[in-house]
Each structure stands twice: as structure tokens, then as C-alpha cells.
């Protein structure tokens, strides 16, 4: 049902929840972050299991901090589709493990060569390069193992595996990183920049939303609308990333600020300027909200996450 | 049925195939190699698909040469369980892609730092380090994608994904590589050396045999017997590897010879000496044949592969 129906039926209830929407959303977000952390804690091998140094490094990379945007998107879409929360925990954890693997590999000296991530030393700095490569490799395997054990039908497990594998493949996330590396010191036009981001970060963000909906086994949700939503927030996320890299300091960002300009990387800011980039982010935000308009199911979490992405400060 | 039953019923047939066993085995092996190559060719993205350099490097790493031991084991166990050959092609290709990803990452400068593999420049030498890291990452995803599309029931697809994910996880292949790296310049005892190999190469070899049997959906095959077989040939493979590294030249080997001693790596040869290592390989070969003794189904391919591993010259 759409928003106006929801409001109409809500008004028939004897008691209306007096908590403001923003507080409700914040409480939901904290609950998802908490359950995601618990699921990751129990999914990752213990740090005293052999080989202990590898397991310690995997836990260092994944646990601690992180915005957990992909688990949040998975839960939001899953709730819209009325999926089982425990399934969403497992699938959200798998998405986060794959995302962290990509960060650990992207930070390597042979790639973006970064020593700060989420406010802490990157894995190859804290441990060593070989360990960082193996941490990424093992996290990818762990994510697929988690999906193959999610509490859903085998048909649904297979759909989840296929969606994740496609999203992180050479025509998805990994391919995007390849194009990104090749773009240093070169001139991409705005279309090429957008394609790179659609692959590098957009594919996994789209998969997070789709996989959340898939967890419901059967859903009335319109996949095209969900895809329009995730395309818009995926690009918006990147535009804001470029704006923050150019305007915010390293301490606030938790990763090295000003790195794009230093690396001569094409960004939205370098191509459109700050003002135009801000307008673009706003427009993408509106597109995201618009895409949810005729979607069945509860969409307030998805709306809230779109606002969170557009208004984020780090 | 066991071997003696098979011979008894074969003798009732009007015509007996006059081709010697070794020629039959060689023909079967060539047929599997051929169909594996065809499957890999069509499973890997085309080299002109964007990003072209990544896809070209993935194909460079996988196609061309390779003993294809894991697809062969998968087919051999699958035929013993009467699995569909097309399924075995897909699963064999997935196993090979994961194996090649591990070789590409192991050869990196931060790991074993090798520049020769299968008689050609390693991927980071032929392309660059970043590309080699991404080739490995993408091949792992591609393998899981292939399993999620194998022509079997979804229940079987999920069992295959789970078996592969477990085999290449931090308590399997990746964990073994971590222990191997940590063992440079240290003294492992023979038990620790064996555990390292059981994880680093044994886990994927065991999975190759198990997954071949799994392809049959339902099988009478005794999994314990299959595991005893694969444990024996997995270790035998490693013992022979160590013997060859110490005794054969680089040209024959297709990878840098004498590297273990140069890197002060603990090996069977450095710990037991050449003669004892050869005896151990023989004994493991006998154990492998023994394990197949009471196995139902046709076991001649599995016997043949055990002989191939024990007698290999490179």
C-alpha cells in the first residue's frame, strides 16, 4: 500500500505513536546497527581460531566502526517486503563483509595506497600486505558461505548468491575499481564517471536493496522502482563523497581528505564544481524519494536512508 | 558395486572393449580437459567486454595451460556417482577459477613473489599488481556465480556453494596460505606441515571430489571413503611437488624450481629427505587406492588420477 493509504488506515487506530518520525527512524537505525554487529561478531571466526592472526585481522577490518549503509539498505528494503528480520541480519552481514573486503583491497599500496580508513590504520598498515590480501579473499568466501546458510528456502539462497556474485563481479564492483584505477591522470567525461561509479559502488548498493526485497521469498514490490531508488542514492552517495573529500578534514572523514585532487582523480567536484555538485546531489535525492512513491509496503525506512545519504557530513 | 562385481558383470557382455585401460583413461582425460576449456571459455567474460584489460587478464590467467587437476577430480567423482556431465563441466570450471585466483594472489610480490607460472609470466608481471589482485577477486565471484547457475536443483546448487565457500575460507585454502607465509624461516614439525597442506591445497582437492559426487543430487557413494581418498592424494600431490621442486629444472616445471629451499620453506624433502619423501608418496598412493576399494560406482577414473598424481613428472 502507498503512503496515503497508510496514513488513512493509521488514523483509524485508537492510539497514534507520538514519537516524531526522525526519532523513530534513529531508533530503527540503531537497532539495525546493533543486530548487524551481533551477526558479524558471530559470523566471523573467533580471533583465537587458527590461523589466529588472519582471524584477528578479519575482525579488525569488519568490526569496530563503519556506517553499515548496505545492511541498512537491505533491512529497509526487506521491511518494505515484509521479510524475516533474522534473514535480513544474515544477508546484511554478508553485504558488509563483501564491502569491507573491497575497502581492504582498494586501500592496498598497489591500488589506492591509503593508510587511514574509518579513523584507524588500514589493514596492510596495521598488519601487512599479504595479510590484507588474504583478509579480503577470506571475507568474500565468508559472505557466500553466510548466504548459503541464510534461513530461507534454497531457491531464495541461490537468488541471493547470484545477485551478490553478479554485483561484485568483473562487470560490477571489481570492474568499477579497475576503471577507477585506469582513470588516474586521464580525462573521463561525466558519462564515463557515472558508469564507473555505477559499477564500483552502485552495483553493490543496488544489490543491497534487491537482496533485502528477495529475502521475503515472494514480494509485491516493484523491482524497477527499487532499482531507480538505488541508482539515485548510489550516485548521490558518490557525489556527496566527492564533495566531502574536497571540503572536510581528515579527522571528521575518518579517511585521508583531499586525496582525489592529490591523485588527479576525476570527481564530480573537479568536473562540475562544488555548487553544481550540491545541486546534483539534491536532484538525485528527489529522484530517490520519487521512485518510492508508488511502491507497496512500508517505505519510510527507505525514505529516511535517502535523506541520511544526502545530508551526511562524513 | 565394487570392482570384482564390475568385472563379473562385464564378462557377461557379448563384446569386451579391447582398448587398454591406460589408453581409455588418457582418452577420458583429454575429453575432460577439452570440455573444461570450452566451459571456461564461455564462462569467462569476453576480452573485449568493459573493462577489457581486466577481462583479458582473467582469460590470460585461466586459459592456455594448467593441469586442471580439480576439474578432473570433480569429473571422476561425478562419474562414479553418475552425475550429469554438463553439471560437472560447470562445477569443474568453478573449481578451476577458484584455484587460478589462489595462484594469481599467491604469486604476488607481497606473497610468494614469483614471476613464472605454467611456463608463462605471472599476471602481475604480464599486467600489473593492481590488475592481478582484481583478477583474483573477480575469479572468486565468477566461480560462485557459475555454481548458482549450474543445471541442478536449487538444493544442490546451495550445497555446492557451501562446499566451495568452506574449502576456500579462512579455515581452508586462504588460512593455509596464511600459515604457509608465516612458516618462512621457521621450524614446522611434520604434523604442522601436514595441517598447512591440508588447508592450503587439501581442502580444495577434497571439495573437488565431494562436489563432483554432490552433482549427482542423490548418491550411494560413501563420503568418508571419498574423503580418505582425497586426503591421501592431496598430501601425495604436495609431497611430489616438494620432490619436483628439489629435483627438476624450471623449464620442465613451468614455475621457478628450487624456490622452496631458496625461501627457506619447510618441505617434505627438507624434513624427511628425498628417499623418505618418495616412500611417503608411494604409501599415500596406496592409501588412495585402498580408500576406493569398497566404493560403489565406477572408480577407474579415480584410480587413474591417483596414479597420475603419484607418477607425475612436472
Is residue A16, in this structure, part of any structural domain at all?
no
Residue listed under C-alpha cell 563483509: A97
- Cβ-nearest to A137 among B110, B140, B144: B140
Distance CA B21, CA A105 (A): 49
Whether the predicted model's global pTM rises above the 0.80 cut: yes
Q: At B116, is the secondary structure helix, strand, or coil?
A: strand
Is residue B37, in this structure, part of any structural domain at all?
yes
Residue B6: pLDDT over 80 = no
- Cβ-nearest to A133 among B105, B131, B169: B105
Inter-chain CB proximity B169 and A138 less than 8 Å: yes
Residue A2: pLDDT over 60 = no
CA-based radius of gyration for chain A = 19
Inter-chain CB proximity A53 and B136 less than 8 Å: no
The per-residue pLDDT for A313 is 74
Interface test with B, best of A133, A139, A142, A182 (most B CBs within 10 A): A133
Q: What is the pLDDT of residues B225-268, one digit of tens each?
A: 999 999 999 999 999 999 998 888 887 778 777 777 777 888 99
Is residue A255, in this structure, part of any structural domain at all?
yes
Question: Across the strands, what pairs with B117?
Answer: B120
CATH of residue A279's domain is 1.10.600.10
Q: Residue A285's domain spans which residues?
A: 21-311
Which residues lie below 8 Å from residue B201, measured CB to CB, with a gap of 6+? B173, B176, B234, B237, B238
Question: Across the strands, what pairs with A120?
Answer: A117
The per-residue pLDDT for B277 is 94
Q: At B91, is the secondary structure helix, strand, or coil?
A: helix
- Cβ-nearest to A54 among B58, B141, B178: B178
pLDDT band, very low/low/confident/very high, at B102 (cuts 50, 70, 90): very high
The per-residue pLDDT for B256 is 79
Q: What number of helices (H) and strands (E) belong to chain B? A: 17, 2
Nine cell digits for residue A246? 574536497
Contacting B residues, span 27-66, partner chain A, CB-CB under 8 Å? 45, 49-51, 53-55, 58
The per-residue pLDDT for A1 is 36
The per-residue pLDDT for A7 is 44
Question: Across the strands, what pairs with A116?
Answer: A121
Mean pLDDT of B288-302: 93
Is residue B91, in this structure, part of any structural domain at all?
yes
Q: What is the pLDDT of residues B196-226, one digit of tens each?
A: 999 999 999 999 999 999 999 887 788 999 9
Is residue B237, in this structure, part of any structural domain at all?
yes
B18: closest CA of chain A, how far (Å):
45
B204: closest CA of chain A, how far (Å):
13
Distance CA A110, CA A108 (A): 5
Q: What is the pLDDT of residues A4-21, one digit of tens each?
A: 444 444 445 555 566 788
Task: Provide the Cα torsion B5, B9, B15, B20; round to 10°.
Answer: -10
* pLDDT, mean over chain A: 91
Residue B7: pLDDT over 60 = no
B144: closest CA of chain A, how far (Å):
6
The per-residue pLDDT for B313 is 74
Mean pLDDT of A105-119: 93
> What are φ and ψ of residue B308, in 5° steps?
-60, -45
Residue A256: pLDDT over 90 = no
Mean pLDDT of B91-110: 98
Distance CA A99, CA A214 (A): 19
Is residue A11, in this structure, part of any structural domain at all?
no
Q: What is the pLDDT of residues A199-237, one digit of tens each?
A: 999 999 999 999 999 999 887 788 999 999 999 999 999
Instruction: Tally the domains of chain B.
Output: 1
pLDDT band, very low/low/confident/very high, at B11 (cuts 50, 70, 90): very low
> What are φ and ψ of residue A124, in 5° steps?
-70, -20
B276: closest CA of chain A, how far (Å):
29
Q: Which positions in chain A touch B192 (Cβ < 8 Å)? A: none
The per-residue pLDDT for A15 is 58
The per-residue pLDDT for A18 is 64
Q: Which positions in chain B touch A113 (Cβ < 8 Å)? A: none
The per-residue pLDDT for B252 is 78
pLDDT band, very low/low/confident/very high, at A294 (cuts 50, 70, 90): confident
Inter-chain CB proximity A148 and B158 less than 8 Å: yes
Is residue B6, in this structure, part of any structural domain at all?
no
Crossing angle of helices A203-214 and A85-106, in 10° steps, is 160
The per-residue pLDDT for A255 is 78
Q: What is the pLDDT of residues A50-87, one digit of tens each?
A: 999 999 999 999 998 899 999 999 999 999 999 999 99
Residue A183: pLDDT over 70 = yes
Residue B96: pLDDT over 90 = yes
Mean pLDDT of A268-279: 93
ipTM here: 0.92
Residue B2: pLDDT over 50 = no
* pLDDT, mean over chain B: 91
Mean pLDDT of A243-267: 82
Is residue B66, in this structure, part of any structural domain at all?
yes
Amino acid at each position: 500500500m502507498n503512503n496515503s493509504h497508510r496514513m488513512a488506515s493509521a488514523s483509524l487506530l485508537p492510539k497514534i505513536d507520538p514519537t516524531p518520525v526522525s526519532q523513530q527512524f534513529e531508533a530503527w537505525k540503531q537497532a539495525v546497527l546493533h543486530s548487524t554487529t551481533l551477526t558479524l561478531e558471530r559470523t566471523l571466526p573467533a580471533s583465537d581460531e587458527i590461523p589466529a592472526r588472519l582471524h584477528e585481522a578479519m575482525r579488525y577490518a569488519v568490526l569496530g566502526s563503519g556506517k553499515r549503509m548496505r545492511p541498512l539498505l537491505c533491512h529497509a528494503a526487506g521491511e518494505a517486503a515484509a521479510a524475516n528480520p533474522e534473514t535480513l541480519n544474515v544477508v546484511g552481514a554478508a553485504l558488509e563483509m563483501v564491502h569491507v573486503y573491497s575497502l581492504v583491497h582498494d586501500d592496498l599500496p598497489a591500488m589506492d595506497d591509503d593508510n587511514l580508513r574509518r579513523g584507524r590504520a588500514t589493514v596492510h598498515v596495521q598488519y601487512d600486505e599479504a595479510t590484507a590480501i588474504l583478509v579480503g579473499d577470506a571475507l568474500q568466501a565468508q559472505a557466500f558461505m553466510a548466504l548459503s546458510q541464510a534461513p530461507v528456502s534454497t531457491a531464495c539462497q541461490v537468488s541471493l548468491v547470484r545477485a551478490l556474485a553478479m554485483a561484485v563481479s568483473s562487470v560490477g564492483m571489481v570492474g568499477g575499481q579497475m576503471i577507477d584505477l585506469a582513470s588516474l591522470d586521464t580525462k573521463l567525461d561525466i558519462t564515463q564517471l557515472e558508469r564507473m561509479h555505477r559499477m564500483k559502488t552502485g552495483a553493490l548498493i543496488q544489490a543491497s536493496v534487491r537482496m533485502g526485497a528477495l529475502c521475503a521469498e515472494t514480494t509485491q514490490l516493484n523491482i524497477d522502482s527499487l532499482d531507480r531508488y538505488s541508482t539515485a542514492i548510489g550516485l548521490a552517495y558518490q557525489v556527496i563523497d566527492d564533495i566531502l573529500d574536497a571540503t572536510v578534514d581528515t579527522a571528521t572523514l575518518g579517511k585521508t581528505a583531499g586525496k582525489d585532487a592529490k591523485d588527479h582523480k576525476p570527481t564530480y567536484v573537479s568536473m562540475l564544481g562544488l555548487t553544481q555538485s550540491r545541486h546534483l546531489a539534491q536532484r538525485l535525492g528527489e529522484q530517490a524519494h520519487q521512485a518510492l512513491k508508488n511502491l507497496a509496503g512500508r517505505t519510510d525506512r527507505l525514505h529516511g536512508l535517502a535523506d541520511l545519504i544526502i545530508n551526511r557530513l562524513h
